[in-house]
């Protein structure tokens, strides 16, 4: 079966807010049919799986209004226009957790698509080990973010007990365990 990109015949900005950019596309499918399709055009994000020298994983806990739940996730944030995903990862880790690293300490993990049908979002996942938490967070006004350090030996319990739900966090955690078994082994 041949899969080809839909051709965008025209595109109209129908965003209800600058915080929720949405376009209405008139598209042509590979079979020649046309249809109207709405998608959200959001910047990529960067997310970091960070392991301390004491063999702990660094999570952040905060309320997320989309699901109306308190979430435990890896530190992450938007990649701004003038940034690379690496730069965004370094900056967000520092702001949200007070951990300062250099770009060359980060290993790329996976690029994740969180809502491929409806949203352009791509999450660039990175891994860093042997870090130290030394300084303070620098948070924006609406961010009430708690830094949570979890010993590697306890991470499986979080999963089994249903305390991890964010799909990008679960995917990157398990991918990092799969790729670096010696670092993240619980045995």
**Contacting positions for a copy of itself (CB under 8 A):** 1, 3-6, 14-17, 19-20, 22, 24-25, 27, 29-31, 33, 35-40, 42, 61-71, 73, 110-123, 141-142, 144, 146, 156, 159, 162, 165-168, 170-171, 174-175, 177-178
CB of 59 to a copy of itself, least distance (A): 13
| Among 91, 104, 101, 110, residue whose Cα is nearest residue 52 | 101
CB of 62 to a copy of itself, least distance (A): 7
Q: How far apart (Å, rounded) are the C-alpha atoms in residues 96 and 9?
A: 41
Q: Is 135 helix (H, G, I), strand (E, B) or coil?
A: coil
Q: How far apart (Å, rounded) are the C-alpha atoms in residues 187 and 180?
A: 13
CB of 66 to a copy of itself, least distance (A): 5
Q: How far apart (Å, rounded) are the C-alpha atoms in residues 132 and 156?
A: 23
CB of 135 to a copy of itself, least distance (A): 18
Specify the residue, 72 or 93, whose C-beta has the smaller distance to a copy of itself.
Answer: 72
Residue 8 half-sphere exposure toward CB, CA atoms < 13 A: 9
């Amino acid at each position: 079966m041949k899969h080809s990109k839909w051709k965008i015949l025209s595109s109209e900005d129908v965003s209800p807010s600058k915080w929720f950019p949405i376009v209405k596309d008139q598209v042509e499918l590979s079979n020649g049919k046309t249809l109207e399709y709405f998608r959200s055009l959001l910047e990529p994000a960067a997310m970091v799986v960070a392991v301390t020298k004491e063999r702990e994983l660094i999570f952040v806990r905060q309320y997320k209004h989309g699901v109306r739940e308190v979430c435990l996730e890896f530190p992450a944030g938007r990649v701004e226009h003038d940034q690379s995903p690496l730069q965004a990862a370094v900056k967000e880790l520092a702001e949200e957790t007070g951990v300062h690293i250099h770009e060359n300490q980060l290993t790329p993990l996976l690029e994740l698509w969180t809502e491929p049908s409806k949203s352009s979002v791509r999450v660039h996942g990175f891994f860093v080990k042997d870090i130290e938490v030394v300084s303070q967070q620098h948070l924006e006004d609406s961010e009430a973010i708690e830094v949570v350090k979890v010993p590697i030996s306890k991470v499986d319990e979080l999963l089994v007990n249903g305390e991890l739900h964010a799909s990008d966090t679960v995917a990157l955690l398990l991918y990092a365990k799969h790729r670096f078994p010696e670092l993240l082994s619980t045995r």
